[in-house]
Amino acid sequence: MTKTSRDDKLRKGIEEAKNALQIEAEAVLKLKEELDGSFKRAMELIIDAKGRVVFTGVGKTGLVAKKLAATFSSTGTSAFFVHAGEGLHGDLGMIREGDVVIAVSNSGETDEVISLIPSLRRIGVTLIALTGNGDSTLAEHADLILKADVITEACPHNLAPTASTTAAIALGDALAIALSTYHGFTPEDFALYHPGGSLGRKLLTKVRDVIKIREQNPVVKIETSVREALFKMTKSRMGSTSIVDQEGKLKGIITDGDIRRLLEKSSDFIDRPVKDYMTVDPISIAPDRLAAEALQIMEAKEINDLPVVEDQKPVAMLNFQDLLRAKVF
């Protein structure tokens, strides 16, 4: 293959890629324009259902159904996936009366899906057809039709499921988000279902969880010398120390940066009381606050250490590196 012919093929491939994106984008926008009362009715059926939401399908639309079940579950609507083929061989036992079954099939004539209908009727479910064919067998036997039809597939031969699967995913996602909004699903709820993800860490990790990493709490009394405060920092391997009054209440903070800046001028201060050089009434945070909030404070104020205070008394010193180590970013 010559370089010219290779370049020509690459150029043609990129043109088809752009065309595919255009077709799929238009398919999704078409759904927006055609959203009607059946969508609202689907919401009502799911909201009022005594059971759960069950997605089913086979092949490419089976993968769509599996993805939508995961999206529903992660946004507050309990759902699971049953492969239509496996359903014919025992997995229908996972479905019970009162469930809402959303069957995904672009043609609405998928053999495995159609074969489930008699048993689903006997079980006593509400059947929603997510299909591109409103005149299909599936649509005929469904209680409700969510139509996700497309003019053409993004495949240049109009064969591979592309625009049709994108449309089905988009419509299913829209339904999941609509239900999530109806139920008042919050970022904290989302984090609860995603504790291992970055959002979960941001919304679930508290300051008290992070300070366990180092368990350091350098504290000196207000009359302590700057020299002793520096020793305290060095021993704790922290870049600052809290300064407290006789009752142990936080009054100030001094950092190694403060001391370095003082040393540039003179060393006469080193044995003087730390109260003369401390930052008075420093910013602090409570242990039950979100670690992400502490990170925001430290970034905004450009500080590396933040006293953790409970009942006005420092219980720990939070370090910026500890937050990074806890992956709160």
- Residues 305-326: tens digit of each pLDDT: 999 999 999 999 998 888 887 7
Q: Are 164 and 220 in the same domain?
A: no
Residue 263 maps to a domain: yes
Residue 195 belongs to some domain of the structure: no
Q: Do residues 43 and 174 share a domain?
A: yes
Q: For the domain that residue 231 is a member of, what is the CATH number?
A: 3.10.580.10
Q: Are residues 144 and 290 in the same domain?
A: no
Please check whether residues 221 and 269 belong to one and the same domain. Answer: yes
Are residues 164 and 46 part of one domain? yes
- Of 152, 185, 218, the last residue of a domain is 185
What is the edge-to-edge ordering of all strands in the sheet holding 79-83? 79-83, 53-57, 100-105, 126-131, 144-147
Same domain? 296 vs 247: yes
Beta-carbon contacts of 232 under 8 Å, excluding residues fewer than 6 positions away, are 218, 219, 220, 224, 241
Mean pLDDT throughout 110-129? 96
Q: How many domains does the chain have?
A: 2
Rounded-to-integer distance, Cα 15 and Cα 5, Å:
15
Higher per-residue pLDDT: 232 or 215: 232
Sign of the torsion angle spanned by Cα atoms 57, 58, 60, 64:
positive
Domain residues for the domain of 66 are 3-185
**What is the domain-level CATH number for residue 120?**
3.40.50.10490
- Asked whether residue 194 is domain-assigned, the answer is no
Identify whether residues 301 and 153 lie together within a single domain: no
Going by the DSSP 8-state scheme, the letter that residue 195 receives in this structure is: T
The torsion region of residue 312 among left (phi > 0), alpha (psi -120 to 50) and beta comes to: left
Task: Indicate whether 193 belongs to any domain.
Answer: no
- Known binding residue 194? Answer is no
At 266 the pLDDT is 85
> How far is 9 from 79, CA to CA, in rounded Å?
44
Q: In this structure, are 128 and 223 located in the same domain?
A: no
What mean pLDDT is predicted for residues 202-207? 76
Per-residue confidence (pLDDT) for residue 1, from 0 to 100: 65
Asked if residue 192 belongs to a domain, the reply is no
- Do residues 167 and 208 share a domain? no
**pLDDT, tens digit, 9 for 90 and up, residues 154-188:** 988 988 999 999 999 999 999 999 999 999 987 76
The overall average pLDDT reported for the chain is 90
pTM: 0.67
How far apart, in whole angstroms, are the C-alpha atoms of residue 204 and residue 209? 10
Are 96 and 240 in the same domain?
Answer: no
